[in-house]
Amino acid sequence: MMAGRHPFDPVTQEIIEGKLLATVDEMGIVMARTSMSPVIYEVLDFACGLLTAKGELVAQMNGITLFTGTFGRQVKTLIDRFGSDLVDGDVLLTNDPYAGGTHACDFAIVKPIFVDGILLAFAINVAHYIDVGGSVPGSLAPNATSVFQEGLRLPGVRIMRNDILSDDILHIIAENVRMPETALGDLTAQIATVRVAARRMQEFAAKYGAPTLIAAFDHILNVSEKLSREAIAALPDGVYRATDIIDGDGVTDDPIAVQVAVTIEGDQITADFTGCPPAVAGPINCARGALESAVRTILKALVAPQSPSNEGWFRPLTVIAPAGTVFTAEKPSPTGWYYEGSVHASELVWKALAKLVPDRFSAGSYSSLCVAYISGDDRSGRPFIHIEPQHGGWGASAERDGANALISLTDGDTYNYSVEVIEARFPLLVRRYALNVEDGAGAGRRRGGFGIIREYEILGEKASAYCSFGRTRTKPWGMDGGHEGTANGLQVMSSEGHVDQYGRAAHIPLESGDVVRIVTGGGGGWGDPSARDRDLIETDLKNGFISMEAATSLYGYRGRIAE
């Protein structure tokens, strides 16, 4: 067989594909072992990839789901900026949400890879920095009204030339962030990963030849495109619509109505967000790159959830959205909490297609990452910033109960902290970590999964917190008669016993002995609760997941549980 004019060897192709995936995984291992921030080495809030010389993704490690669609846009923007001025030994940096990225805290380090003077590929590492300056520790003010309040932006700069770091850029970063040692350590770790990728690609080129590698890239993309089109073509043509509500933007609590129309026509799929509101005052906006990535996440779940990600899968997809909306924000609209907005774009498409593929999609989930920042000084007087995403309940599917305590759709293969790491690194005591069976989950023939309860006691003299939780009022949606899920929320319990409730809050003062209690919601149910199997009800009763009262009122259960 022939791939263009280059002879195609399926064995060599399989080996090269394996080596590409091994390379991005190696990049990830290097990053996790050498970074300075727990949010990177514990949570794994980063992702690595390899792209063609044209900026098309060919291999990506498991990592942040929302970076799936941003890599290509970011690299293509850098190609447009630097053009023929790129040379071997360059390393580039961008964290601009309006140039294909997400928010200023996500630094993208990109290295062009040359073989015999010819540009062969790009390596990229995008990682979340614990602080990039701005108006609050951690940089993500929930009430920011301008991107200029969200920290340092470097929209396409050369951080290395001839493999030598730019002292000027390092100086700018160090002088603009609250924890310079950590930031520069994470930057060094990122640079190490893209240099590892460059070495591996040059080794592959020496063994197989650059033309073989380029042909292998094309084959990966073309095969994925073909499979994607086949999966889409197997679905019935039509227009599938969904609506949702975003619970406030951080500046006001006003509900924000959003919508999508998903059109399947032959082997093509279009997600049209026309009719969504203009960019809001607060920072839950996302830019176009994050929107496209949010939609790509759902397409990948639709056509090939288990296959490695690359650009080919997304060639049949078109995303339509006017400029300047809540999903296509433009400068200077704030985007710090972009994942709180973009998850609604993902869930809109998910919701529109759920009835079409009930074996693969579920009812609504807790959606929000439920991130809270806790900052202050530790017992030695040094500043600390604790940031952590939380797990929650996912919706039920047609034949299975929802997943309990699973990370949000936006974050993919990431984690929250172990209790031991939190207590070792921060002046915090984890008082409780449990499934949130108190609030329950959406009832149904298959019930939703449960969220969590996580409590942190403040050990330092003084601290403060801020948060931006979605789905605090608009609960996860049920399917086919299933009940909606339960809400997210943050509570602060003072040492005197007073309890305050928060959703999106810009400043929460804390004192020693106060307890920050994070509650994540349960997912929506699927199907009529009265049709739930008796043995499933009894298993939930035995496990303490539901009370006898709930079993009776929600499911019509009549009986006794054996001791």
Write down the pLDDT at residue 5: 54
Q: What is the pTM of this model?
A: 0.94
Any idea what DSSP says for residue 395? P
Rg of the chain on CA atoms, in Å: 24
Structure tokens belonging to residue 107: 């630094």
Per-residue pLDDT of 341-362, as tens digits, reads: 999 999 999 999 998 998 889 9
The domains of the chain are located at 10-226, 362-532
Cα pseudo-dihedral 257, 263, 268, 269, rounded to 10: 20
Check whether 68 has a pLDDT greater than 90: no
Rounded CA separation 313/56 (Å): 11
Per-residue pLDDT of 512-557, as tens digits, reads: 999 999 999 999 999 999 999 999 999 999 999 999 999 999 999 9
Per-residue pLDDT of 280-326, as tens digits, reads: 999 999 999 999 999 999 999 999 999 999 999 999 999 999 999 99
